[in-house]
């Protein structure tokens, strides 16, 4: 994913340690999405993706942080969100991104669904080191 100039004043960081934190991260993302002028549909999509990824950070990553910021490109505004954990990592990223596949008890749609809900998606994972998921949704 390209580096876009960030609106530093809007940067927020939320630690994810309990399920209440996922709600908080979601609210933070929603606030930024409103600030960036995302439409209601795009807000809901981004917030839902954040909810999925935040819960993954908690359940599979054993907790971590969510960082969100409003970013700008030439003629558009968007919201950039990064989920980082220092958990066990994902051994097979292609498998993890397959619809319906889960290593836990969910529906297996969180990671792959979140990718479909955002405009840019990047998954970095090293087994034993941790996982980082970065997403970006533009307002248009």
Partner 1 sequence: MDSDDSKRLLELLSARRAELIAQWEQTVAASLHGRLSTVELGRELSELYDAITEALAAGGLAGRGPEYGVVRSLLVELSRNRARQGFTPTETAVSVFSLKEVLESLLGGSVEEIRAYLQFSHLLDDLGLFTVEEYARTREEIISAQSQQLLELSTPVVKLWDGVVGVPLVGTLDSARTQVVMEKLLQALLDSNSTHAIIDITGVPAVDTQVAQHLLKTVVAARMMGAECVISGIRPQIAQTIVGLGIEFGDIPTKATLADALRHALVEIDKAASTRAAGLL
Name residue, tokens 């939320």.
14
* Helix, strand, or coil (residue 93): helix
Q: Are 131 and 125 in contact (CB under 8 A)?
A: yes
Query: Can you tell me which of 114, 123, 135, 136 binds partner 1, judged by CB under 8 A?
Result: 114
Query: Can you tell me which of 14, 21, 25, 52 binds partner 1, judged by CB under 8 A?
Result: 52
Query: For residues 139 and 20, what is the distance between their CA atoms, to the nearest angstrom?
Result: 28
Q: Are 73 and 139 in contact (CB under 8 A)?
A: no
| Residue 19 near partner 1 by CB under 8 A | yes
Strands 120-126 and 77-85: unpaired
Q: Give the bridge partners for 2, in sequence order.
A: none
Region near partner 1 per CB under 8 A, out of 48-56, 80-88, 120-128, 132-140: 48-56
Tell me how far, at minimum, the Cβ of 126 lies from partner 1, in Å.
25
Query: Can you tell me which of 17, 48, 65, 103 binds partner 1, judged by CB under 8 A?
Result: 48
Considering CB under 8 A, how many residues would be counted as binding partner 1? 24
Binding residues for partner 1, per CB under 8 A? Answer: 19, 23, 26, 30, 40-41, 43-45, 47-48, 51-52, 55, 99, 106-107, 109-110, 112-114, 116-117
């Amino acid at each position: 994913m390209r580096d876009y100039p960030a609106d530093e004043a809007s940067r927020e960081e939320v630690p994810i340690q309990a399920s209440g934190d996922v709600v908080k991260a979601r609210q933070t993302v929603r606030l930024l999405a409103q600030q960036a002028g995302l439409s209601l549909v795009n807000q809901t999509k981004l917030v839902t993706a954040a909810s999925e990824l935040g819960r993954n950070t908690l359940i599979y990553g054993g907790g971590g942080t969510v960082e969100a910021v409003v970013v700008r490109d030439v003629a558009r505004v968007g919201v950039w969100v990064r989920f980082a954990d220092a958990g066990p990592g994902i051994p097979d990223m292609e498998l993890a991104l397959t619809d319906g596949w889960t290593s836990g008890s969910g529906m297996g749609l969180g990671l792959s669904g979140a990718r479909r809900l955002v405009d840019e998606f990047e998954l970095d994972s090293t087994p034993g080191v941790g996982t980082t998921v970065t997403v970006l949704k533009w307002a248009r």
